[in-house]
């Protein structure tokens, strides 16, 4: 860690006496370089995560509403607005949110607050995105359970509850 030291002094112009002095030391951590990135289309993420067309449409609406903190506020009124924009039922939006949560693309943080997985979606400065990524831990355990190749995915938002996805068979 690098540190910088700043000293401020006030000197009386008449007497030349120092009337005030303060020293501030600040530590700077080296931020890793932003990783290489490419444009990725949401529909491609949908195919990779085996999302339905409706789930992809809801995801597009979430991405459009995300703040710089990576969070989306979805109280009932906003869910209702999304259902009207997509011309679908409120329950279809809720089901899509559940599917997106189970896929690890979003995480339910609290009540009507969802966080987009910063490994897929990010908005803002790299320093902030890096901190968001550090607060998310994803663990994937693959087991050969009788040759069925089941997997268990645990997504943990540091400081929040652990969200555990049901075991799934890999897509072929």
pLDDT tens digits, 17-67: 878 778 777 766 677 777 666 566 777 777 778 889 999 999 999 988 988
Cβ count near 111 (within 10 Å): 9
Helices (H) and strands (E) in the chain, counts: 5, 8
Q: Name the phi and psi angles at 60, rounded to 5.
A: -60, -40
pLDDT score for 61: 93
Q: Which of 64, 87, 65, 84 is nearest to 74 (CA)?
A: 65
- Give the chain's domains with CATH numbers: 42-135 (1.10.10.10)
Please state the pTM of the whole predicted model: 0.57
pLDDT tens digits, 78-92: 999 999 999 999 999
pLDDT tens digits, 93-152: 999 999 998 888 888 888 889 988 887 877 778 777 777 777 666 555 556 656 565 555
């Amino acid at each position: 860690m690098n540190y910088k030291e700043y000293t401020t002094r006030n000197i009386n112009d008449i007497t030349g006496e120092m009337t005030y002095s303060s020293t501030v030391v600040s530590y700077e951590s080296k931020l890793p370089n932003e990783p290489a990135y490419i444009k990725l289309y949401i529909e491609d993420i949908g195919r990779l995560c085996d999302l339905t067309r409706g789930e992809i449409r809801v995801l597009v609406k979430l991405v459009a509403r995300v703040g710089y903190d990576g969070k989306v506020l979805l109280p009932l009124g906003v869910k209702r607005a999304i259902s009207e924009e997509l011309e679908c039922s409120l329950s279809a939006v809720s089901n899509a949110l559940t599917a997106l949560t189970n896929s690890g693309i979003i995480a339910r943080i609290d009540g009507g607050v969802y966080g987009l997985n910063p490994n897929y979606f990010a908005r803002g400065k790299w320093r902030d995105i890096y901190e968001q990524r550090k607060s998310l831990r994803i663990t994937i355990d693959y087991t050969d359970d009788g040759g069925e190749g089941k997997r268990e995915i645990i997504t943990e938002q540091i400081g929040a509850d652990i969200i555990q996805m049901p075991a799934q068979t890999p897509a072929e």
